[in-house]
Amino acid sequence: MRSGILKEAFEMPVLDIRIKDAFPYADHKFSSLAAILSDISIPFHPLGNAIWTIGQRNSGCLTLQGRPHGRRGLD
């Protein structure tokens, strides 16, 4: 199994310190089970909430207009 460890997730101020402290143990446990763990970076990760909110506002507006959006808008 290959898994990515999102660097920016550990920089979020709302991250519970207990989770951050438990991660080295989990990392070691997965590695001992032959998992391949790699550090990854998604620079826009901290903006995820704002991006999601904008998308939801657009979807809500389209819903009120009776227009398709999201998966329903593909056909």
Helix ranges, the chain (H)? 17-32, 48-64
Kindly state the tokens that stand for 4.
């990515």
State the average pLDDT for the chain. 83
The answer as to whether 75 is a domain residue is: no
More confident residue, 64 or 70: 64
Q: Say which DSSP state 68 is in.
A: -
The answer as to whether 48 is a domain residue is: yes
Residue 36: which domain range?
Answer: 2-70
Which three-class secondary structure state does DSSP give residue 39? strand
Q: How far apart are CA 65 and CA 32, in angstroms?
A: 54
Q: What is the pTM of this model?
A: 0.55
Task: Report the domain count for the chain.
Answer: 1
The answer as to whether 13 is a domain residue is: yes
Look at residue 58 and tell me whether its pLDDT is greater than 80: yes
Look at residue 73 and tell me whether its pLDDT is greater than 70: no
Instruction: For the chain, count helices (H), then strands (E).
Output: 2, 2
pLDDT at 71: 67
Give percent of the chain with pLDDT exceeding 90. Answer: 3
> How many Cα neighbours within 13 Å face the side chain of 19?
8
